């Protein structure tokens, strides 16, 4: 059972008496310090502990026949613990910037010409290979990209590509060689 002095202070504090609230808070500062030190001893944790004392005063019900210090301990510790957990999982600014940068890169990635992923189970190596190829052939014009795609991705031979595009086989050969020169230059730059 709680002392009558503490119960009287709690009743006054609940009624709106600020002096009674301050007296109770001052009385239990050492308990707040002790609990705060258990959870890291930060100034912010101490302030959360004070809020826990205030919450304990506000919500204490003397009908339950428990000591106020027991009820206070639970409230203070839960406030400090919640604060520490929240701080532990707070995302630092440099991580947020990295996420934003990644979002920009993802948007740029999705703008790559004719790049599509059909299913949700993405093969990372295949995706990296596609990105590498797209990056390498980005130096080529659209005609060169089309010829390379038909020859090396879709498996047509030079004569079939020439018929499909309505140009000579020699011209396909020249386009392919010109594209290869550009690609070699690009690879040397990297």
What is the domain range of residue 38? 4-88
What is the count of structural domains for the chain? 2
| Within a domain: 121 | no
Residue position matching structure tokens 């690009």: 186
| Within a domain: 135 | no
Q: Are residues 15 and 84 in the same domain?
A: yes
Q: What pLDDT is stored for residue 49 in this prediction?
A: 92
Q: What pLDDT is stored for residue 109 in this prediction?
A: 46
| Within a domain: 106 | no
Q: What is the mean pLDDT of each run of 10 residues along the chain (190 residues)?
A: 80 90 91 88 89 90 85 89 77 61 50 48 62 77 87 85 89 88 79
| Within a domain: 10 | yes
The pTM assigned to this predicted structure is 0.46
- For residue 183, what is the domain's CATH number? 1.10.10
Q: Are residues 82 and 158 in the same domain?
A: no
Q: Are residues 78 and 147 in the same domain?
A: no
Q: Are residues 10 and 80 in the same domain?
A: yes
For residue 181, which of 146, 148, 157, 132 has the smallest C-alpha distance? Answer: 148
Q: From residue 183, how far is each of 77, 112, 113, 170 by CA, in Å?
A: 64, 17, 17, 20
Q: Are residues 82 and 151 in the same domain?
A: no
Q: From residue 68, how far is each of 10, 17, 60, 179 by CA, in Å?
A: 9, 18, 7, 82
| Within a domain: 134 | no
Q: What pLDDT is stored for residue 103 in this prediction?
A: 52
- For residue 44, what is the domain's CATH number? 1.10.1740.10
| Within a domain: 24 | yes
Q: What pLDDT is stored for residue 107 in this prediction?
A: 46
């Amino acid at each position: 059972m709680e002392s009558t002095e503490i119960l009287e202070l709690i009743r006054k504090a609940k009624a709106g008496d600020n002096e009674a609230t301050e007296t109770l808070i001052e009385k239990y500062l050492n308990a707040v310090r002790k609990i705060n030190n258990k959870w890291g001893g930060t100034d912010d944790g101490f302030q959360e502990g004070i809020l826990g004392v205030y919450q304990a005063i506000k919500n204490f019900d003397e009908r339950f026949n428990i000591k106020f210090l027991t009820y206070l301990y639970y409230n203070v510790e839960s406030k400090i613990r919640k604060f520490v957990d929240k701080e532990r999982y707070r995302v630092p600014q440099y991580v947020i910037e990295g996420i934003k940068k990644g979002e920009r890169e993802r948007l740029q990635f999705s703008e790559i010409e004719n790049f599509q992923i059909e299913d949700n189970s993405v093969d990372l190596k295949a995706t990296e290979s596609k990105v590498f190829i797209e990056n390498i052939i980005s130096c080529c014009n659209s005609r060169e990209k089309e010829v390379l795609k038909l020859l090396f991705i879709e498996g047509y031979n030079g004569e079939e590509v020439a018929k499909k595009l309505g140009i000579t086989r020699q011209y396909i050969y020249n386009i392919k060689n010109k594209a290869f020169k550009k690609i070699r230059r690009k690879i040397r730059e990297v």
